[in-house]
Amino acid sequence: MRVFCSAFGHETNSFSPVPTNRASYAQTVLIRPGDSRMEGPMYLMGVDTIIAKAQESGCELSLSTIAFAQPGAATVRSDYEQLRDEILEDLSSTGPHDMVFLLLHGAMMAEGYDDCEGDLLDRARTIVGPDVAIGVLLDLHCNITDLMLEGADIIVACREYPHIDFDERACELFDQIHATTRKEIVPTSAQYRIPMLAMFHTPREPMRSLVDRARAFEGTTGEGTNEVVQVTLAHGFPWSDFPDAGASVLVTTNDDPQGAASLARTLGHEFFALRDQGTEPMRSIDDTLDEAERILAAAGPGATVVVSDGSDNAGGGAASDSTFLLQACLDRGFEEVVIGLLWDPIVVQLAAAAGVGATLDLRIGGKTGPASGNPVDASVKVLNLTNGKKHQYFTPKQWVPLGDTALLEIEGVQLVVNTIRQQPMHPSAFLEAGCDPWSKRLVIVKSSQHFYGNFAPDAEAVLYCDAPGSLSTDVFARPYRRITRPIWPLDEVDLDQG
Ligand SMILES: [Zn+2]
């Protein structure tokens, strides 16, 4: 059997001030056939799993573009079209194939394209014809469209947020598409749309139980259906401003469209019922810092509280240069604090020019727009510098280059500033820049949830702050123009009338 695989991902935040172009992909991951990096491991979006499964199954593999950019605004049109067409040309020139795997995000937009995944799948289907099985793996923050469903045989999304299970899902998808190709199953899918814009952390209840319940149907003949092949709880990506933004449940059964529709509807109602219980309580800046002080006073020496500044999470398209929490810590005279990762290449450049040990006046952060607050003007001490060779880890196998970093100190508040925009996902983001976060009383991470698994076990407490910013959870503050109404929480929604 001949297998084709490509990965092309971007989570598009319509309200992000940060443009996305081909260079944005190159800065994160952009590997083309012939690139020596194609030979090495790529612990990304399940790519390695598809490669390994193809080899195990004795398949001949054609690997095309592997591209992923940090979330931001819609991709520049000509760059999107060029990247897309490179993949499609590979698909065409290396074919015919028996199985096609496209590892995508599910919330990708480009200038002139609301639904990049649907566009890519539609064109891929035209090339391979109706009989070749196409499997798609998505991030659960996906807005699944009809065009995507028409183009693919099976679509699955990861189950967990933090997204720790891409490999597991890729493994399942490979087997399902393999079975489809061998005519052992006839995948039939149904989507139940849920008009809601919300976030759900899967380690916490009640979402944990719903994820487990959905999973338990897979491989069974639950609730009067034929075999349930897969169940996806698509959380939606609320910052993509287009008509299909929103959550859904997607069920694939073996040759039983009615069974798929029935189960998707049942789980859709259960998902909607959790709409206001998806995340930990969000606190204002003052309430967050008050609560942190209270916890630290009770815990005594050696304790560290971790605060999520998810509103400035690069992983959702924020600039990661907001100053609201920095300013609040300075105003309160907090010490033994570290904040990261703050994206400010100019500050890194100036600090590097001054050198370790120097003290200089700098204008920090607040540069990309109103969502980043005002810049902080301060006398800053340069504690440490690194020059592009350091990485942070997400899992032991997955690492991300930090770019150049500067560890700065302002009146007892330390800041890790870097040149490649990204969220801190692991304490190594601080350690590699020269700061042990566990030596601090307060660690402020510009991350919504991917930090959680690697920080929570050593933290006295984890608090979620709803500061202003591009990713503030205040749905009413977002200038939506194109989403389909009614949608919760902007409107009252009665699912049964939909
Ligand atoms: Zn995601």
- 428 Cα to the center of ligand 1, angstroms: 21
- 234 Cα to the center of ligand 1, angstroms: 10
- 411 Cα to the center of ligand 1, angstroms: 36
- 13 Cα to the center of ligand 1, angstroms: 12
218 φ/ψ angles, rounded to the nearest 5 degrees: -65, 130
- 437 Cα to the center of ligand 1, angstroms: 25
- 161 Cα to the center of ligand 1, angstroms: 7
**For every one of its 498 residues, what pLDDT tens digit does the chain have, with 9 covering 90 and above?**
999 999 999 999 999 999 999 999 998 889 999 888 877 666 678 999 999 999 999 999 999 999 999 999 999 999 999 999 999 999 999 999 999 999 999 999 999 999 999 999 999 999 999 999 999 999 999 999 999 999 999 999 999 998 989 999 999 999 999 999 999 999 999 999 999 999 999 999 999 999 999 999 999 886 677 899 999 999 999 999 999 999 999 999 999 999 999 999 999 999 999 999 988 889 999 999 999 999 999 999 999 999 999 999 999 999 999 999 999 999 999 999 999 999 999 999 999 999 999 999 999 999 999 999 999 999 999 999 999 999 998 877 778 899 999 999 999 999 999 999 999 999 999 999 999 999 999 999 999 999 999 999 999 999 999 999 989 888 998 999 999 999 999 999 998 765
- 121 Cα to the center of ligand 1, angstroms: 20
User: Cis bond leading into 206, ω under 30°?
Assistant: yes
- 163 Cα to the center of ligand 1, angstroms: 7
What whole-number distance in Å separates Cα of residue 416 and Cα of residue 404?
A: 10
- 143 Cα to the center of ligand 1, angstroms: 11
- 135 Cα to the center of ligand 1, angstroms: 19
- 416 Cα to the center of ligand 1, angstroms: 24
- 237 Cα to the center of ligand 1, angstroms: 8
- 105 Cα to the center of ligand 1, angstroms: 8
Angle at 434 (CA atoms; ends 431, 439), nearest 5 degrees = 65
Please, are residues 493 and 195 in contact by the beta-carbon 8 Å criterion? yes
- 162 Cα to the center of ligand 1, angstroms: 8
pLDDT of residue 281: 85
- 190 Cα to the center of ligand 1, angstroms: 22
Please, are residues 91 and 4 in contact by the beta-carbon 8 Å criterion? yes
- 268 Cα to the center of ligand 1, angstroms: 19
- 44 Cα to the center of ligand 1, angstroms: 13
- 374 Cα to the center of ligand 1, angstroms: 28
- 349 Cα to the center of ligand 1, angstroms: 31
- 457 Cα to the center of ligand 1, angstroms: 22
- 139 Cα to the center of ligand 1, angstroms: 5
SS (H, E, C) the chain: CEEEEEEEECCECCCCCCCECHHHHHHHEEECCCCHHHHCCCCCCCHHHHHHHHHHCCCEEEEEEEEECCCECCECHHHHHHHHHHHHHHHHHHCCCCEEEEEECCCCCECCECCHHHHHHHHHHHHHCCCCEEEEEECCCCCCCHHHHHHCCEEEECCCCCCCCHHHHHHHHHHHHHHHHCCCCCEEEEEEEECECCCCCCCCCCHHHHHHHHHHHCCCCHHHCCCEEEEEEECCCCCCCCCCCCEEEEEEEECCHHHHHHHHHHHHHHHHHCCCCCCCCEECHHHHHHHHHHHHHHHCCCCCEEEECHHHCHHHCCCCCCCHHHHHHHHHCCCCEEEEEEECHHHHHHHHHHCCCCEEEEEECCCCCHHHCCCEEEEEEEEEEEECCCEEEEECCEEEECCEEEEEEECCEEEEEECCCCCCCCCHHHHCCCCCHHHCCEEEECCCCCCHHHHHHHCCEEEEECCCCCCCCCHHHCCCCCCCCCCECCCCCCHHHC
- 308 Cα to the center of ligand 1, angstroms: 16
pLDDT of residue 398: 77
- 10 Cα to the center of ligand 1, angstroms: 10
Q: What domains are there in the chain, each with its CATH number?
A: 2-273 (3.40.50.2300), 282-472 (no CATH)
Choose among 141, 78, 131, 74: nearest CA to 106: 141
- 164 Cα to the center of ligand 1, angstroms: 10
- 364 Cα to the center of ligand 1, angstroms: 29
- 138 Cα to the center of ligand 1, angstroms: 9
- 433 Cα to the center of ligand 1, angstroms: 26
- 85 Cα to the center of ligand 1, angstroms: 25
- 496 Cα to the center of ligand 1, angstroms: 28
- 358 Cα to the center of ligand 1, angstroms: 39
- 157 Cα to the center of ligand 1, angstroms: 10
What whole-number distance in Å separates Cα of residue 234 and Cα of residue 147?
A: 16
- 140 Cα to the center of ligand 1, angstroms: 6
Give pTM, 2 decimals.
Answer: 0.93
- 212 Cα to the center of ligand 1, angstroms: 18
- 141 Cα to the center of ligand 1, angstroms: 5
- 495 Cα to the center of ligand 1, angstroms: 25
- 399 Cα to the center of ligand 1, angstroms: 17
